[in-house]
């Protein structure tokens, strides 16, 4: 998965560069144009830069090989970086809302040039969001997908700010506070996204099982090995970009330990070869139920 890590890192670096340029331009232009919505959107873009930094850090640590203290590898750091993105988004959204509510009593009319950084941001973030979703799902990166959601919400917040600023410019008398309400809406959107990302990454950290299709795929590949008579249990947990699998393999109880071990090893190699999203497989050998009934209880230890 080293190549996947490098792709994710390059996207994170590009996202940081674009996000920095957008954040600076929106905050400065929002200040000059007297627009709370544009400044709030700039703060959201600044949080994007920090989010991409967390993604880059998580991918870098996750790429480290397993060691004595981390026998399952360092992949969980990638998921932790996704959790950090969610927490940061929730905090940023709360800050935006508090600031916007505090300015509600002040009526301002933004300058017309306030709309240009919002338009540019919407175009650039649309491309980045699509790229992060596609690559993140392909390399199974929770952090990169979370960052893709972050960009998607940045598009929504930019459009919200654009609508609010446009209304305030077109009719200051009727929509003089639209700019502030737009800022509040942006904050609420960011909070909602943060909560969603926190929920998704927390489920991964608590070892939620993958969907049924993935488990069935593991079972089907394992049963292709001669001598593999059944799968009693199949568990999997995500550790970063890949899954670690626990497989209870059923074999003929009359086989020797050497032969049973050979089949278990063949199953492990078959799964690792055919399923690139599996990092490792721990195979437990069990007696096949039908064979156990036919052979009687005398094969069991202590019987």
For residue 106, what pLDDT band results from cuts at 50, 70 and 90? Answer: low
Domain boundaries, the chain: 2-205, 212-299
More confident call, 147 vs 229: 229
Model confidence at 227: pLDDT above 80: yes
Model confidence at 136: pLDDT above 70: yes
More confident call, 240 vs 81: 81
Average pLDDT over residues 165-176: 78
Most confident option among 52-56, 60-64, 209-213, 253-257:
253-257
Contact 274, 224 (CB under 8 A): no
Side-chain half-sphere CA neighbours of 303 within 13 A = 7
More confident call, 260 vs 13: 260
Q: What is the pLDDT at residue 234? A: 93
Q: What is the pLDDT at residue 299? A: 42
The pair phi, psi for residue 279, each rounded to 5°, is: -85, -40
Average pLDDT over residues 142-165: 78
**Which residue, among 246, 240, 11, has the nearest Cα to 140 in the 3D structure?**
240
* CATH number of the domain located at residue range(s) 212-299 in this protein: 3.30.70.1350
Q: Which residues contact 104 (CB under 8 A, 6 or more apart)?
A: 177, 180
Q: What is the pLDDT at residue 290? A: 67
Instruction: Give the integer Cα–Cα distance in Å for 45 and 86.
Output: 14
Q: How far is CA 190 from the centre of its chain?
A: 16
* CATH number of the domain located at residue range(s) 2-205 in this protein: 1.20.1510.10
Model confidence at 298: pLDDT above 50: no
**Of 98-102, 223-227, 248-252, 283-287, the least confident:** 98-102
Mean residue pLDDT of the chain comes to 81
Q: What is the pLDDT at residue 104? A: 66
Contact 55, 114 (CB under 8 A): no
Backbone Cα Rg of the chain: 26
Q: What is the pLDDT at residue 295? A: 47
Instruction: Give the integer Cα–Cα distance in Å for 297 and 303.
Output: 7
Model confidence at 293: pLDDT above 60: no
Model confidence at 19: pLDDT above 80: yes
- Does this model's pTM top 0.85? My answer is no
**Of 24-38, 49-63, 148-162, 258-272, the least confident:** 49-63
Average pLDDT over residues 274-287: 90
Average pLDDT over residues 261-270: 94
**Of 69-78, 194-203, 234-243, 291-300, the least confident:** 291-300
Model confidence at 47: pLDDT above 80: no
90-104 residue pLDDT tens:
888 888 788 777 766
């Amino acid at each position: 998965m080293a190549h996947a890590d490098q792709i994710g890192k390059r996207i994170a670096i590009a996202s940081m560069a674009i996000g920095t340029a957008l954040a600076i331009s929106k905050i400065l232009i929002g200040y000059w144009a007297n627009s709370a919505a544009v400044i709030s959107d700039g703060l959201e873009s600044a949080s994007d830069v920090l989010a991409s930094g967390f993604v880059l850090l998580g991918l870098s640590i996750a790429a480290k090989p397993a060691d004595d203290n981390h026998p399952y590898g360092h992949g969980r750091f990638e998921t932790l970086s996704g959790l950090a993105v969610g927490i940061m988004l929730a905090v940023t959204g709360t800050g935006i809302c508090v600031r916007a509510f505090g300015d509600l009593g002040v009526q301002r009319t933004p300058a017309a040039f306030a709309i240009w950084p919002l338009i540019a941001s919407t175009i650039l973030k649309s491309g980045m969001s699509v790229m992060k979703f596609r690559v993140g799902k392909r390399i199974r990166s929770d952090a990169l997908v979370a960052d893709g959601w972050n960009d998607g919400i940045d598009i929504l917040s930019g459009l919200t700010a654009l609508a609010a600023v446009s209304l305030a410019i077109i009719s200051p008398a009727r929509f003089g506070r639209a700019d502030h309400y737009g800022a509040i809406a942006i904050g609420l959107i960011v909070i909602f996204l943060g909560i969603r990302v926190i929920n998704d990454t927390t489920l991964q950290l608590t070892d939620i099982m993958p969907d049924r299709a993935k488990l069935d795929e593991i079972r089907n590949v394992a049963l292709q090995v001669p001598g593999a008579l059944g799968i009693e249990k199949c568990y999997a947990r995500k550790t970063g970009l890949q899954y670690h699998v626990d497989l209870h393999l059923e074999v003929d109880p009359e086989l020797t330990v050497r032969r049973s071990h050979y089949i278990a090893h063949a199953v492990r190699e078959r799964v690792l070869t055919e399923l690139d999203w599996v990092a490792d497989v721990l195979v437990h050998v069990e007696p096949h139920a039908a064979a156990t009934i036919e052979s009687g209880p005398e094969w069991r230890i202590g019987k």
